Each structure stands twice: as C-alpha cells, then as structure tokens.
Structure 1
Amino acid sequence: MAVKQMNDFSLTSPESSVTFIAIASGKGGVGKSTVTVNVAAALQRLGKRVGIMDADIYGFSIPSMLGIKEELRKEQNQMHPIEHCGLQVMSTGFFVPDNNPVMWRGPMLGKMLSTFFNDVKWAPLDYMIIDLPPGTGDVALSVHHKIPQCAQLIVTTPSDTASHVAARAGKMALQTNHRILGVVENMSYFEAPSGEKHFIFGQGGGARLAEQLGTKLLAKIQITPFAQEPAEPLALTSIYPSETNNGILFTELAAYISGQK
C-alpha cells in the first residue's frame, strides 16, 4: 500500500514514501468528502503527517468543509499547499474565486491533476488522502494511472441505489488492480435523544456492497449535525470532534488503516 513517490518538493520523487488512499463513491451526495476530511483528521490525530488532495475538480468542497480562508502562497514557480487543522490541503477551489463553476473539458482535468502532483511543494507526508469525484470518469482513471498502488475506501449510504452504483467504483478499483481497504457506510441512521435509531435511508447497503466487492464494512457513520459552539477549535469545519461517536469511529478507522489495529 505504500508508494515511494514523495519528497519535500514533489509527489513523484522516488526517494520518499507515502501511502495514497483514494476515497471513492459511485454517486454524489453520499458524504464522500465528509469521509475524506474525517479520515485525514483522524490519521493526523494518530500522529501521522497527512495531506488532502481534492481531486473532485468540478465539485470541489474540501476548502469549505475545512473552513479554509487562506490564499495559496507561490515561491519560485511552485505552490505551497495550505496548512489547516494540521493538514496539508490542495484544491481547485483555491484557484476559483467566488465559488464560480469549473467548466473544463477532459484534458484540462488531467492538467490540473498534474499540477497537484508536480507543481506543489508538499512537505514530507505519511498519507495522502485523495477525494475522487463520484463515478468512474477521467479524473478517477488519471489517478489510477498516476498512482498504480493507491488503495481505496468506497463510500455509500445504506440505500440499495447508492450501494448498487457504488459497486461500479469498487469494480473499477479491482479491474485496475487497486486494493480496496473496505467500505464506509455514511448516513447509516439517526439516533434520537431517546436512543431510538431511525434508519432514514434504509439498512444494509454497506454490508451488501462489502460482500459484493469481497471486502469489509469498516464503519457505519450516523447522521449528526456539525453545529458547534464558535469557541470550539473545530467550529466551521466538517470534522467530527474526537470525543463524539462519529469521531471515535473515524479514529478506529484510521487506526485500522495505519495498521495500529
């Protein structure tokens, strides 16, 4: 799972070692980016050096989810990733003002990915978490090509439709010889103050998907608001505090990924 592709200057250096993990889904709206930022934050809590590459170029959301307001810094024709919440972050959102849409054809998508890999001065990392766009299009294919040993987490909701579509992303990983670490079922249920669980999107989609792909269901993330007091350090982000139920689940998931469990 480790890929020797990183040094102080480029992700393509053969002198350094980094573990690449792509977060994939079959369709949008299942919480793939939420899983991305929380897996990254949980690995960082375990003492790992972690970067996030927002490869969902049309649907970039990582800057907003992390509450990033900083601007990119350039130095000698190289860009520095923005350091935020202990993470190094790079996103198309840093190049697009005022939340304007990205209207590019396929070749431009590949060019932006090349920029992320070759023209960004990444500091040494243990993990690079890549937020893939949903589906099996150009960007996902380019990531598979550029990082042949990248592992994947597949995200779905409990619904039959979401898990059925997510299976395509998983099968793409298998057909390109990428290891599937497991399945994360997001929006699994809502727990009322009484403790009663409400399965708003059905049940069993994550388990069915894991069985279909021959892998494990690693986590079932409940529906919970991100509302926090402004004084809290993670206010305005989509990172679950470590002491919450979801925060604990993501810490356990990170421990599994890093081989600590």
Structure 2
Amino acid sequence: MNKKELKDFLDTKVKQYNQPRFIESDPIRIPHQFSNKEDIEIAGFLTASIAWGNRKSIINNAKRLMDLLDNSPYDFIINHSENDLEKLQPFVHRTFNADDCAQFIKSLKHIYLNHNGLESVFAKHAETNSIQTAISKFKTTFFEMEHLPRTQKHISDPLKNSAAKRINMFLRWMVRDNKTGVDFGIWKTLSPSQLSCPLDVHSGNVARKLGLLHRKQNDAKALLELDTALRKLDPKDPVKYDFALFGLGVFEGF
C-alpha cells in the first residue's frame, strides 16, 4: 500500500472500532461507570494501571477495586484513613497487590491535595509534540512522598526506555474528544496531538506488518518511531490509530 492507501485503510478501521459497542469488552468501561470528572480520571488511572494480561481479568479486577473504593473513588481517596485501607487487603492483580494498591491511594491523595490533581501534573511538563517527559515527571511526583520501593515498578518511565503503554492508554482516554462516546475528552489543557500510541504486542505486531514500525522491541525508541509514522498520517490526532492497530490485532488477527 502507498501512503494514501494505508491512511484510507486505517481511517476505515478507526471508524469501525472507535464505537461505543466495543466499550463493554474494553477496560475503558470501568471509568464509563462514572460522571464526575475526578471519579472518571481516578477510575481510569487505576484501571489502566492494572491493564496487562487477560482483558476479562483486567475488567473484573478493576470493577472489584471500584467496589472496594465504595464506587466513589475520588471521595475515598480524599477522605480515607489508614483503617480504610485495610479493606484493600484481599485485592491482587498479577504482581499488583494490596500494598501497591494502598500506596497508589496515598499517592493519589497527595496529588489531589498538593498538586491540583492528575491533569495538572501531566499538563505542567507536557512538551509541544510529546507527553513522554511529562509521564516521567509524573512518576517522580507520584512517588515524592514516602512510599514502598516495590510499587515504583507499576508506573513506567519513558526516559528509562519504557513504551509506557498503560499510561499512554490512560492519557488517550482523558484527552481525546468524546465525539463517538468512547474516549472522554475531559482534559482540556492537553491536546490529542501531544499523545503517543499505547504500544503493546497487538498494536506493535500490526504496525510492523503495515510498515509503520521496524524496531523489534516494544520500547520507547519503538514508540517514537511509531509516533513519527502516525503523525504523518494525522498530526492533529495520531493516537486515533490505536483503535485501528488494536482492533486489527485483537479482533481480526491481522
């Protein structure tokens, strides 16, 4: 395919998969349970943070986590006491355990009380055409309080060559507009043009087959290569192609 044919093909796939009917089978269904901005972004962040492995398991465990937070994640985070954190003890998702979960709750409270919330932290360090440095700065802010060293592994750092798939997915949810009813578009201080594609096994494999990506590892260098290719197709909203790449890989076995 030439560039125009590739763009037309991918644009068609974006329209096919960027549809509300796919929400039910996707982790994004968890933040869609809420209407308050802070509830949406906290539910989205926590869900994205455990979004690796089987998607059904991700959704089930994220739903369970929301139940443990009384289905009022912002209120729980702002007003919780140490005793309230004890109810999280049964929670585990793969290597993310109850201690990690409690640390996330404490760090989120710190961010909302001292840094004006999640959006503010990411927006503060965002660059014109990239948000990867902002993700690294976010990790620093997230763990600037006393914390468990083991929990640091659950937030990726692009400046240490991570593709940071989960945070990039979360940022897509928050920043891209909600014209189709899938992403939320509730963060107005960031632009879709700054976002990076959530690079995982599925999107990476499809991108390589389409000639959008040549690097074999799914790391920060591969993400930069893929971002560069997608920005040539749509500089204003390159991450919309996540729907096409993921859909082709998961649903069509492309």
Report the TM-score when normalising by structure 1.
Answer: 0.30
Indicate the structure with greater helix content. Answer: 2
Relative to its length, the structure with more strand (as a share) is 1
Q: Relative contact order (C-alpha < 8 Å, sep 6+): which is higher?
A: 1
